[in-house]
Structure 1
């Protein structure tokens, strides 16, 4: 039930259900289930932007999983600790947790977990500007995602490869990877990732001077961001639409898009601050 609430975005309701589940697991002396439930509470808090609280729950979850000998579960929780630290800008610390998570995933034979963690290592390296190293990790992550039959993760990783190639100025190659990523996102029914990838395609076309084509992709991306409830994605894409219009000399129209983008991003910031 709690997972259903979380997937529907009803985070407070999910939190209440997880707290009840934790009480039952403690009453039953089920250490493994305590760890699983504490992990889920951490996930909800992370989605609410309460990162320090999420970290505390993940740390407790990790202790329970170690006590229960749940090696795969340890890796999953270490991965999430890395995610929180990466969001906080603590990239070196995040990398250390991802490396430990990868070791656990390998020990547990968790091929999907290996791929997801390799992908995040690639993300950290890309953020640090280590593009060649990032690309190598993404390629390994893609191999694991394909071996695990994880279509969604294949798409997300292909998107990361496209990002690196775009950053290196290899725009045609980046487009090809984004197109493959979009196919995977569509096959997985991942609306948010479809929007993010369409935005990336728009960015490449804008850099190539294909402004009308870029505009069409941004408009599609915006529709999908709205469908996914991705407020930040909406704001960023509105900003890029404004950029294209400004380049086309349509300054009044650009200004209107910038104003809409600013309103959305301010609203998102306020919501995040409230947790």
Structure 2
């Protein structure tokens, strides 16, 4: 005579697998669909969802309450590993959206060969509205990277509570490397470059072409290169520095020190402090 253990067997996890118009596996609360030659969708996790629509599209989810969508074109790929997150590669060809974390979102949209990657919890990455844009948000604590509105723009945001924006033109690049509470913007023109390496600082290369704004330091530094072409604003120091080059072309403002201010406006003006 057998005796029960009194422990119920574990319920199978929620899983849905679909390929080329046919759902192959469906159990629990996961849902999926795949339509088109070479399409594939897989969702693993409670209340997760995966949708692949179009030739050679792929949507894959591992996590609870998450969603991956690859639709509106050919060869789009969306992937999520995490809970309550979303990845969408839509309206274009060969777009890639990847999430690795909880409460995060990556979107590659409206163009071809765009790449969006969100790594960590509460991170957000968007690449699109053009071609070959790349956005990477990595870290945690509400990171945001956006490369949109043009071609070959790059936005990279690392550290805590930081933002990198590149776009509204071509080949703009905004980079935040580590630290916290930083902001970099390279927008509204072509080949603008904004970089921040520090804490609680901002770099803005905007409204023109080939402007460069960079900060290496901490505590409320701000560098502006804008409203013209080939302006350069650089800060190497801490504690409330302000460097501004603009309202014309080929101006340069450079600070080496703490709590200083340098403003170069007009054309071909150079100001260095101290």
Calculate the TM-score normalised by the size of structure 2: 0.24
Scaled by the length of structure 1, the TM-score of the pair is 0.24
Higher relative CO (Cα under 8 Å, sequence separation at least 6) belongs to 1
Answer 1 or 2: which has greater helix percent: 1
User: Which structure shows the higher strand fraction?
Assistant: 2
Structure number with larger C-alpha Rg:
2
